[in-house]
Amino acid sequence: DIPSLAETYAEFFPIGAAIEPFQTEGLKAELLKKHVNWLVAENVMKPDAIHPAEDQYNWTNADRIVAFAKENGMELRFHTLVWHTQVGAWFFKDPEGNLMTDETDPAKREANKKLLLERLDRHVRTIVDRYKDDIASWDVVNEVIEPADPDGMRASDWYKIAGADYIATAFRAAREAGGPDIKLYINDYGTDDPKKRDRLYELVKGLLDEGVPIDGVGHQTHIDVYGPSIENIMASMQKFAELGLDNIVTELDMSIYSWNDRRDYGADIPEDILTKQADRYGELFRAFRENKEIVSGVVFWGIADDHSWLDGFPVKRTNAPLLFDRQYQAKPAFWSVIDSLE
Ligand code: G3I
């Protein structure tokens, strides 16, 4: 019998996983119950899933994950109130059905912005109100920074219509609806990249100076066996901690390929790659433990290699980014995360 990951790490921080509702049953559920004490919905709490039309909310799938967590004494994260993708197109249409992003008339643009922020405010309050007693940790906005876009702000429909104001609106609504006990995060990928990190820092600092209620930064941490450096990952968390913010690793996985690698190992993953992955996972968790005052939790984006977005992204190829294999057996990476404690 193998040790429980969450129990082994109990003295440091919680260990989580992203799941789909169907994984709350069967062998996957058993694996989760044994190894994690934190859950996040991989898709079913995203805007399009939970709020597909202005007057329609779908709670059923989200509720299944909440119920499973409660039955098993697990904490939850909410992902995500605002995103530029997986969001209903209805948000961005004016009352005549036109795309608000296309509007050029200044007066109409002003009215559209107001309408979008009102919709956002209602969206956030309705969802936070429903889950505030069950979910303590919330991704309020996801992936709003894009260094290549003007101002370094992602040129999403949100931004094109409302400028950066949508971010403050979302955080304020979440705090008002959820009260002081829920924790509110700004979540992004590639936060290890100094350019992106610094733009995010500048944004967050500005918002905090204006009194916008942000509690922490979610670092997705979708990495691969070749990079980025653990030093840069930790430096970013250090920087946000100096602002008084909390840091969570929100979507950890480690691809066995570099981004541009167009090979597919299929079922025959070279052993040295799995060893490389194990060593890097071990080093990463050592760094997290040594900095446990600034890392308050680690959530994997999945739990076993049979279910990962990385099988299809950026190209279709057999990936193996997690600690358990397709048969739910512990990989060398699992043992490295455990053994690095000795
Ligand atoms: O729901 C439809 C279903 O009705 C349809 O039959 C099926 C056919 O392809 O597609 C289903 O939608 C898929 C959805 O996941 C739900 O399963 C989409 O095609 C698929 O693109 C979508 O992928 C998700 C992706 O976000 C979307 O951007 C991944 O599962 C999910 O792991 C991934 O998660 C993101 C985080 O939210 C943010 N950070 C990056 C991370 C990885 O991309």
Residues 305-331 pLDDT 10s: 999 999 999 999 999 999 999 999 999
Q: What separation in Å is there between the alpha carbon of 46 and the centre of ligand 1?
A: 10
Measure the CA angle with vertex 69, ends 67 and 72; round to 5°: 105
Which atom of ligand 1 has the smallest separation from the CA of 220? 39
In sequence order, what E strands does 162-245 have? 183-188, 216-219, 222-224
Is 251 labeled as catalytic in the residue annotation? yes
Task: Tell me the two tokens of residue 212.
Answer: 């916008």
pLDDT at 38: 98
Instruction: Check if 253 has its Cβ closer than 6 Å to any atom of ligand 1.
Output: no
Q: What separation in Å is there between the alpha carbon of 224 and the centre of ligand 1?
A: 20
Instruction: Check if 43 has its Cβ closer than 6 Å to any atom of ligand 1.
Output: yes
Average pLDDT of span 56-74: 98
Q: What separation in Å is there between the alpha carbon of 43 and the centre of ligand 1?
A: 6
Q: What separation in Å is there between the alpha carbon of 221 and the centre of ligand 1?
A: 18
User: How crowded is residue 59: how many other Cβ atoms within 10 Å of its Cβ?
Assistant: 15
Instruction: Check if 86 has its Cβ closer than 6 Å to any atom of ligand 1.
Output: yes
- Of the candidates 216, 163, 165, 224, the residue with the CA atom closest to the CA atom of residue 190: 224
Which atom of ligand 1 has the smallest separation from the CA of 85? 28
The neighbouring-strand residues paired with 139 are 185
| Radius of gyration, alpha carbons of the chain | 20
Q: State the Cα–Cα distance between residues 131 and 129, nearest whole angstrom.
A: 6
Average pLDDT of span 180-207: 98
- Asked if residues 221 and 251 have their Cβ atoms less than 8 Å apart, the reply is yes
Q: Whose CA is nearest to atom 43 of ligand 1?
A: 309
Q: What separation in Å is there between the alpha carbon of 292 and the centre of ligand 1?
A: 31
Sequence-distant contacts of 336-342: CB under 8 A, at least 24 apart: 336/278, 336/279, 336/281, 336/282, 336/285, 337/5, 337/281, 337/282, 337/285, 338/3, 338/5, 338/8, 339/282, 340/282, 340/283, 340/285, 340/286, 341/8, 341/289
Q: What is the Cβ-side half-sphere exposure of residue 247, based on CA atoms within 13 angstroms?
A: 25
Q: Are strands 137-142 and 75-78 parallel, antiparallel or unpaired?
A: parallel
Q: Is the pLDDT of residue 342 over 90?
A: no
Q: Which CATH number is 5-339 given?
A: 3.20.20.80
Using most ligand atoms within 8 A of CB, pick from 61, 250, 309, 311 the residue to mutate for ligand 1. 309
Which atom of ligand 1 has the smallest separation from the CA of 313? 43
Among 103, 143, 146, 251, the active-site one is: 251
Split at pLDDT 50, 70, 90, the class of 271 is very high
Average pLDDT of span 11-30: 98
Would you list the domain boundaries of the chain?
5-339
- Of the candidates 186, 181, 155, the residue with the CA atom closest to the CA atom of residue 170: 186
pLDDT at 295: 98
Split at pLDDT 50, 70, 90, the class of 224 is very high
Average pLDDT of span 166-186: 98
The Cα-based distances of 143 to 84, 125, 135, 196, 220 in angstroms read: 8, 21, 21, 11, 10
φ, ψ (nearest 5 deg) of residue 40: -140, 145
Q: Whose CA is nearest to atom 27 of ligand 1?
A: 86
Average pLDDT of span 3-26: 98
Please provide the average confidence, as pLDDT, over all residues in the chain.
98
Q: Whose CA is nearest to atom 13 of ligand 1?
A: 43
Instruction: Check if 305 has its Cβ closer than 6 Å to any atom of ligand 1.
Output: no
Q: Is the pLDDT of residue 143 over 90?
A: yes
Instruction: Check if 42 has its Cβ closer than 6 Å to any atom of ligand 1.
Output: yes
Q: What separation in Å is there between the alpha carbon of 104 and the centre of ligand 1?
A: 33
Tens digits of per-residue pLDDT, 100-138?
Answer: 999 999 999 999 999 999 999 999 999 999 999 999 999
pLDDT at 150: 87
Using most ligand atoms within 8 A of CB, pick from 22, 43, 58, 319 the residue to mutate for ligand 1. 43
